[in-house]
């Protein structure tokens, strides 16, 4: 039988871009005995969570929680708002955008899929041009992955919002924030996103198993007309029962305990500090990559992701063999290359429960791995990152220090 947690002494380094390391505070919260999901204590728990999620998504509207992985929340976004044969506009930014497109196809939607090079984000000018061309307003929704986890490229949501507005097109705007929410600045209400899709296992620092739709009034109105079949994913019943703090099915009680704690941790740190922490660790990682003389997959610095960095290995070097060696020698998991970039890139997840020394350990593991595998590189990647970490301010304050300040 498999022995769980059968790792060498010391913490396993889980540096894939999600699931991320789960903080002890959250592990302890998950550990509470399961309670009656129809009792008064559970109702208080749900109501506190639903309020706490609003600042995280930066919305005052409803956030629907599903006991599902992110894929479920993708499906919920589509089936609640669209009808068979509806046209939707999507962009090939990478593996996850491609998977979401495949789902839309399977559900009977008609997808305009704008090709991409897997190194760039969504071009706002292209969004505007496509919508302007669509005089009869046949396109019902624009679907964008905010942070493409397979490439480390972040699309600029405010620019896309402005492009939609300039075109005067009424399409819904749906954004996948599965690897950006609670790591990178994201504003559901201010950017007038209609459905925000999110998952538990990345910036929220929880295990996989919960996913979310933050929903605008316009999306709710669309859901009244939408005719794609839906039952389990139906927002209406969930939102209605949520008002009393309950769900129309047995919820994932212990994951909700964890979510309650995750919200507390994020709000104690302050979202602005959470984002600044991720920006700083991402910058330090990129300095390391340049110090090694390797190439960052993302082409445009304005689209660098703050939650992960995808790195190209030189021709003739297998990124998966490199990852295997790092796991075996240093007990660290790095993200694999997915889809079109499989075998060519590895990804460093620097999101979630993460601090300066977690980054130092991660980068040391990568640098040692490059040497062990004889990947041609320069020797000062870690040094560059350390200088930046030293010079750009230290550890963020503890919650108590921040409260006292
Ligand atoms: C951007 C993005 N979208 C969607 C998904 C799919 O989510 P899940 O694997 O939780 O179903 C992922 C998973 O990593 C992702 O990173």
What does the DSSP 8-state code read for residue 68?
S
Percent over 70 (pLDDT), the chain: 97
8 Å CB contact between 229 and 80: no
Task: Answer yes or no: is pLDDT of 403 > 80.
Answer: no
CA torsion 192-193-199-204 (nearest 10°) is -20
Task: Answer yes or no: is pLDDT of 399 > 60.
Answer: no
- Per-residue pLDDT of 15-60, as tens digits, reads 999 999 999 999 999 999 999 999 999 999 999 999 999 999 999 9
Token pair 């061309």: residue = 133
Question: Which segments within 26-124 are labelled E, that is strand?
Answer: 63-66, 87-91, 110-114
- In short, whether 96's Cβ falls inside 6 Å of ligand 1 is yes
Q: Whose CA is nearest to atom 16 of ligand 1?
A: 149
- Per-residue pLDDT of 196-216, as tens digits, reads 999 999 999 999 999 999 999
Given the CA of residue 180, which atom of ligand 1 is nearest to it?
A: 1
8 Å CB contact between 334 and 290: no
- Per-residue pLDDT of 270-313, as tens digits, reads 999 999 999 999 999 999 999 999 999 999 999 999 999 999 99
- Per-residue pLDDT of 63-92, as tens digits, reads 999 999 999 999 999 999 999 999 999 999
pLDDT at 180: 98
As given in the structure block, the two tokens for residue 139 are 């396109």
What is d(CA 128, CA 162) in angstroms, rounded to the nearest whole number?
A: 9
Provide long-range contacts, Cβ within 8 A and 24+ apart, for 220-229: 220/62, 222/80, 222/81, 222/82, 222/172, 222/194, 223/80, 223/81, 225/83, 226/79, 226/80, 226/81, 226/82, 226/83, 227/83, 227/84, 228/78, 228/79, 228/82, 228/83, 228/84, 228/107, 228/108, 229/79
What is d(CA 32, CA 51) in angstroms, rounded to the nearest whole number?
A: 22
- In short, whether 18's Cβ falls inside 6 Å of ligand 1 is yes
pLDDT at 400: 54
8 Å CB contact between 194 and 174: yes
Task: Answer yes or no: is pLDDT of 116 > 80.
Answer: yes
Mutate to test the pocket of ligand 1, among 68, 70, 103, 197 (most ligand atoms within 8 A of CB): 70
- Per-residue pLDDT of 379-396, as tens digits, reads 999 999 999 999 998 655
- In short, whether 179's Cβ falls inside 6 Å of ligand 1 is yes
The residue among 343, 350, 348 whose CA lies nearest residue 313 is: 343
Given the CA of residue 199, which atom of ligand 1 is nearest to it?
A: 10
- In short, whether 149's Cβ falls inside 6 Å of ligand 1 is yes
- In short, whether 212's Cβ falls inside 6 Å of ligand 1 is no
- Per-residue pLDDT of 168-202, as tens digits, reads 999 999 999 999 999 999 999 999 999 999 999 99
Q: In what order do the strands lie in the sheet with 63-66?
A: 63-66, 211-215, 195-199, 172-176, 139-145, 87-91, 110-114
As given in the structure block, the two tokens for residue 52 are 């706490």
Between CA 84 and CA 91, with CA 90 as vertex, the angle to 5 degrees is 160
Given the CA of residue 148, which atom of ligand 1 is nearest to it?
A: 1
């Amino acid at each position: 039988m498999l022995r769980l947690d059968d790792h060498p002494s010391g913490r396993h380094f889980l540096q894939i871009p999600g699931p991320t390391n789960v903080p002890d505070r959250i592990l302890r919260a998950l550990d509470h005995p399961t309670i009656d999901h129809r009792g008064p204590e559970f109702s208080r728990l749900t109501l506190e969570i639903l309020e706490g999620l609003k600042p995280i998504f930066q919305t005052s509207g409803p956030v629907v929680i599903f006991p599902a992985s992110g894929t479920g929340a993708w499906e919920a976004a589509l089936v609640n708002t669209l009808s068979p044969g509806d046209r939707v506009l999507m962009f090939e930014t990478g593996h996850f955008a491609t998977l979401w497109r495949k789902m839309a196809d399977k559900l009977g939607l008609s997808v305009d899929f704008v090709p991409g090079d897997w190194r760039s984000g969504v071009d706002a000018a292209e969004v505007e041009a496509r919508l302007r061309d669509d005089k009869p307003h046949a396109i019902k929704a624009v679907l964008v992955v905010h942070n493409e986890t397979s490439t480390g490229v972040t699309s600029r949501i405010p620019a896309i919002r402005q492009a939609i507005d300039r075109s005067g097109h009424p399409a819904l705007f749906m954004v996948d924030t599965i690897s950006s929410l609670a790591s990178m600045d994201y504003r559901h209400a201010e950017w007038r996103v209609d459905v925000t899709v999110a998952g538990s296992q990345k910036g929220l620092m929880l295990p996989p198993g919960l996913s979310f739709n933050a929903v605008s009034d316009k999306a709710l109105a669309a859901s009244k007309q939408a005719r794609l079949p839906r039952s389990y994913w139906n927002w209406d019943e969930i939102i209605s029962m949520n008002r009393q703090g309950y769900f129309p099915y047995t919820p994932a009680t212990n994951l909700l305990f964890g979510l309650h704690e995750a919200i507390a941790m994020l709000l104690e740190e302050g979202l602005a500090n959470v984002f600044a922490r991720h920006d700083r660790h991402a910058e330090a990682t990129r300095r390391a990559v340049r110090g090694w003389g390797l190439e960052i997959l993302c082409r445009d610095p304005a689209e660098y992701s703050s939650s992960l960095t995808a790195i190209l290995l030189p021709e003739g070097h297998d990124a998966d063999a490199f990852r295997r060696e790092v796991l075996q020698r240093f007990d660290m998991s790095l993200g694999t290359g997915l889809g079109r970039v499989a075998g060519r890139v590895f990804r460093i997840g620097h999101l979630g429960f993460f601090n300066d020394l977690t980054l130092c350990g991660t980068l040391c593991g990568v640098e040692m791995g490059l040497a062990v595998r004889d990947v041609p590189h320069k020797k000062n990647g870690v040094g560059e990152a350390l200088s930046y970490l030293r010079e750009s301010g230290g550890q963020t304050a503890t919650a108590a220090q921040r409260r006292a300040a």
